[in-house]
Amino acid sequence: MKKSIYILVMIASLLFTTTIFAKKACNSKGKKLYGKVKVVKYGEDIKVKIVDYGEDIKVKKVDYGENSCGKWKFVKYGESFKIKFVKYGEDLKVKYVKYGEGMK
């Protein structure tokens, strides 16, 4: 009995730790999810679906200070990563917000 409880506690702690590190990393497919973003039709790094709920990340559109998780500055050149908006087959679900940006 004690052994099974110990194993359950270890698994729960491992899952919790893994979730925290993934959130702190703030990336998808090896690309950081903040910085300068270019919207493209082809050659994207990440496929993005805009949602109202069930998002993977909350994004705040900014004109400057795009140096933390979820802050995106949309540009035509000099991008940190490229996105393509899709209706299905997304890599990332995004919800636009005015405050509270970042990952869950």
Q: Say what the pTM is.
A: 0.75
Q: Which residue has the higher pLDDT, 27 or 22?
A: 27
- Which residue, among 23, 13, 11, 29, has the nearest Cα to 70 in the 3D structure? 23
Phi/psi for 19 (5° steps) reads -65, -45
pLDDT by residue (tens digit) across 47-91? Answer: 999 999 999 999 999 999 999 999 999 999 999 999 999 999 999
Give 2's pLDDT tier (boundaries 50, 70, 90): low
Asked if residue 5 has pLDDT above 70, the reply is: no
Q: Chain-wide mean pLDDT for the chain?
A: 87
Bridge partners (DSSP) of residue 36 are: 73
- Which residue, among 13, 86, 7, 91, has the nearest Cα to 57 in the 3D structure? 91
How far is Cα 52 from Cα 37, in angstroms, rounded to an integer?
20
How far is Cα 4 from Cα 10, in angstroms, rounded to an integer?
10
Asked if residue 17 has pLDDT above 50, the reply is: no
